[in-house]
Amino acid sequence: MLAAVGNPHEQFPTIHVAGTNGKGSVSTLIAAALREAGLRVGLYTSPHLISFRERIQVNGIPISETAVSAWTRYLTPAIEAHQATFFEATTAMAFAHFAAREVDIAVIEVGLGGRLDSTNVITPLVSVITHIALDHQKYLGDTVEEIAREKAAIAKAGVPLIIGEADPVLAEVIRSAARDARQPRDGDSGATVVVPPGATWSGPLGLVGRHQRRNAAVAAAALAALPDALRPSARATSAAFASAQVPGRFDRRGKWLFDVAHNPDSMRALTAVLGAVAPPRPIHALVSILGDKAWAEMLVELDQAIDVGVLTIAPSADTRKWDLGWLERWLGDPERPAARARWRLVADFQSALRDVQDGAGTVLVTGSFHTVGDVMQALGLAVA
């Protein structure tokens, strides 16, 4: 499909970022440092919170509605001829837009996995793999080792690979799988940099939480692996990291707090930050989790950090919603772990949105991108 529209992905250098959790933050941090250095930077991420346009940005500005319409018309013949999926079509649009806008470099976040992800058509200057955890097992494998091998397949011969996984055993799985994926013809497999397990960014950081300091250390390692002409200075990197923000990642708006934690690992990171920051109590959480996630484990984790939990269904997640019957039975199950917080189910989204605010010192919105985006939209909040 890309060949049919002139291979736009070959017209600018890229950085490729994969991982279960942290890849969105790492991608944003890398892009911010490159912009601070004076470069024209494309950033492709997914999913979006409110608007599709968030996925495709140049120098922090989302693609315009006019451009989305124009690229859709331009790409439709190729999309239809090759029966492209939504994400394949979106990826082609991002590449075409970046080429047309003549970006100096683009940061490309993997959509799902790595080996078979449509972004894996690029040959980047640097490949990055962040933290690995259980998620999307239906597609990627039932163990973290299997998932790690899928993500490691973005590695390419002659391209530096940054491994951000802090678990030494998993990091070695990634290193080994990457070696197989590279299969160099000329003997140059490319350098591999394993970010040390305890390494974190020590300077000022706009993002909150120890996990974000780890993400910043991984982003800094990726920037350091770039060619001299594209590598930001230490000053540019520090300034960008200090002011960086990622919508929906411990995103505080008055008494509202938004976090897109959507699997057990990211929920553990969220509860750790809640414990460290200690926002005003009582903390009331509005929670909607997709039906194919490990929601019971996520709720047990979140229960330790909040005072009231209101379970609902985010409107945009209706086709992937969790099963209300299962949820009711789980709430009423005397054998489930004893709850610290008070929980209730309010299936109607608007009712839940009103209910959760009553008496709250902090209102936490979490469980998925859908949940955060729907609440932000309902409250009239801008993503950035």
Tens of pLDDT, residue by residue, the chain (384 residues): 999 999 999 999 999 999 999 999 999 999 999 999 999 999 999 999 999 999 999 999 999 999 999 999 999 999 999 999 999 999 999 999 999 999 999 999 999 889 999 999 999 999 999 999 866 555 566 788 989 999 999 999 999 999 999 999 999 999 999 988 887 655 677 799 999 999 999 999 999 999 999 999 999 999 999 999 999 999 999 999 999 999 999 999 999 999 999 999 999 999 999 999 999 999 999 999 998 889 999 999 999 999 999 999 999 998 888 988 888 898 888 888 889 999 999 999 999 999 999 999 999 999 999 999 999 999 999 886
Do the beta carbons of residue 40 and residue 101 sit within 8 Å? yes
Comparing C-alpha atoms, which of 23, 74, 33 is closest to residue 244? 33
Distance of alpha carbon 256 from alpha carbon 285, whole angstroms: 10
Distance of alpha carbon 16 from alpha carbon 155, whole angstroms: 9
Distance of alpha carbon 67 from alpha carbon 324, whole angstroms: 40
Question: What domains are there in the chain, each with its CATH number?
Answer: 3-243 (3.40.1190.10), 251-379 (3.90.190.20)
> Strand pairing of 56-58 and 14-18?
unpaired
> Strand pairing of 283-287 and 308-311?
parallel
